[in-house]
Amino acid sequence: RLKDLEVAEVGDSDVRVKMLAAPINPADINMIQGTYPILSPLPAVGGNEGVGEVLEVGRRVASLKPGDWVIPAITTLGTWRTWGVFPEETLVKVPRDIPVLSAATLSVNPCTAYRMLTDFQKLAPGDSIIQNAANSAVGQAVIQIAKAFGIKTINVVRDRPDLPKLVERLMALGADHVITEEMLRKPEMKDLFKSVPKPRLALNCVGGKSTTEMLRHLQPKGTMVTYGGMAKQPVTVPVSAFIFRDVELRGFWVTQWKKDHAQDQESLTSMMDTLCQLIRRGQLTAPVCTEVPLQDYKAALEASMKPFISSKQILIL
């Protein structure tokens, strides 16, 4: 429900923020459904991501001032609101010279893409990676960040009526190859690897057959990182992949990464600086977005749960 609430008083270490824009992510839906590993105590405000402008700061606040743009440093902040008062340590300052939609969608998906590309395999220019759900917000960020780093991407998507349009869009972002899950299983994949080296890293957001097929194309000692399970099916791995190719299976959750690095501000700042530089250079754009006024939140929530929707719903606050 959309409710009017009193905004809390600003304490000594608090920051009053006017929210500008906040996306609807799958994790937000899962939290509302009660199926996410972290749940807010009820009653709660939805939304884990977004950007706002600082209006007022408490007298002990040192890192922020009125006029600054901020994004959440933690999950469960509750960004689907027009105003909020938050403790200083729950916010991260971002530059105001990046587009508002890029700032609103910065703290989850680009961070996930960046960490997966840098933390699991030492990739060099010319190396390749393979990913499924390549048209997701993480997938789009992976394509662009990999392109900026000189890494080739093989991008797997589900077949759909508007496939040529989707392929064209992903290629425009910098994808090297876009294939369907059906093509992934065909012998013709051998031809693709004449022009691109076999990937050392696979990024899995789907599970089920898609995962097993991607694994077949990984180099020996390659790594598959699972960060989602859209098919709601387990990851099935042939024994031969472990014995004869020594592949490694890992998982990634950006919330856990942020918890683990809560005392390591340098890691977070360095990542944000790199991502903001890519945004400024036009090498990392926001995912395709549909802007929806807050009062139309029901339509936005429904649209965000439809299959084959490649546009992220953004609440404009």
The number of C-alpha atoms within 13 Å of 131 and in the hemisphere containing its C-beta is: 30
Q: Determine contact, residues 108/135, Cβ cutoff 8 Å.
A: no
What sign does the CA torsion over 70, 134, 37, 248 have?
negative
Task: State the angle between helix axes of 137-149 and 163-173 in degrees (0 to 180), rounded to the nearest 10.
Answer: 40
- Whether the upstream peptide bond of residue 43 has omega within 30° of 0, thus cis, is yes
Bridge partners (DSSP) listed for residue 201: 129, 223
Which tokens hold the place of 258?
A: 């942020």
Sheet of 223-226, strand order: 177-180, 152-157, 128-131, 201-204, 223-226, 248-251
Residue identified by tokens 């609430």 is 5
Closest CA to 285 of 102, 100, 97: 102
What sign does the CA torsion over 79, 82, 88, 94 have?
positive
Beta-carbon count within 10 A of 74 CB: 18
Which member of 36, 114, 227, 297 is catalytic? Answer: 36
> b/e map of 300-317 (b: 16 or more CB within 10 Å)?
bbebbeeeeebebbbbbb
31, 146, 179, 182, 195 from 168: Cα distances, Å? 33, 18, 12, 18, 20
Distance in angstroms (rounded) separating the CA atoms of residues 258 and 312: 23
297 flagged as catalytic: no
- Which positions are catalytic? 36
